[in-house]
Amino acid sequence: MTRRAAPEQQAAIFAALGDPVRVRFVRALVDGGEQSGTSLAGRLGISLALLCHHSKILVGVDLVQKRKAAQTTYYRVNQAALKQVLRDF
């Protein structure tokens, strides 16, 4: 049915999860639901600039989605994408 993704594409998704900070990033969203950037940065013990960097990688492969309300950016996990990560093997 669904064809396998290109190796580069699939590797990019795995690489996005291949960093301890980003694993904790996703876990924090799974556990705590949608959260703001500042809240997440506090929870993860990292600067807002670093959170922004990691969020771009996770959002870039669509494992995390973002929504902006006024100055605040809210992040949430893309559960469908997360569950499908291993489907290719």
Partner DNA sequence: GGCATAGTCAAATGGTTATTTAACTACATG
Partner DNA sequence: CATGTAGTTAAATAACCATTTGACTATGCC
Binding site for its own copies (CB under 8 A): 4, 7-8, 10-12, 14-24, 26-27, 30, 82-83, 85-86, 88-89
Cα–Cα distance measured from residue 75 to residue 28, given in angstroms and rounded to the nearest whole number: 10
The distance of closest approach from Cβ of residue 22 to DNA in the complex, given in angstroms and rounded to an integer, is 7
The reply on whether position 49 binds DNA by CB under 7 A is yes
Which whole-number Å values give the CA distances from 82 to 22, 30, 38, 50, 72, in the listed order?
13, 10, 23, 22, 24
Question: Of its own copies, DNA, none, which one does residue 46 interact with (CB within 5 to 8 Å by kind)?
Answer: DNA
Hey, how many other C-beta atoms are within 10 angstroms of the C-beta on 36? 14
The reply on whether position 70 binds DNA by CB under 7 A is yes
The reply on whether position 86 binds DNA by CB under 7 A is no
Cα–Cα distance measured from residue 19 to residue 77, given in angstroms and rounded to the nearest whole number: 16
Cα–Cα distance measured from residue 8 to residue 33, given in angstroms and rounded to the nearest whole number: 30
Site for DNA, rule CB under 7 A: 15, 19, 21, 36-38, 41, 46-50, 52-57, 66, 68, 70-74
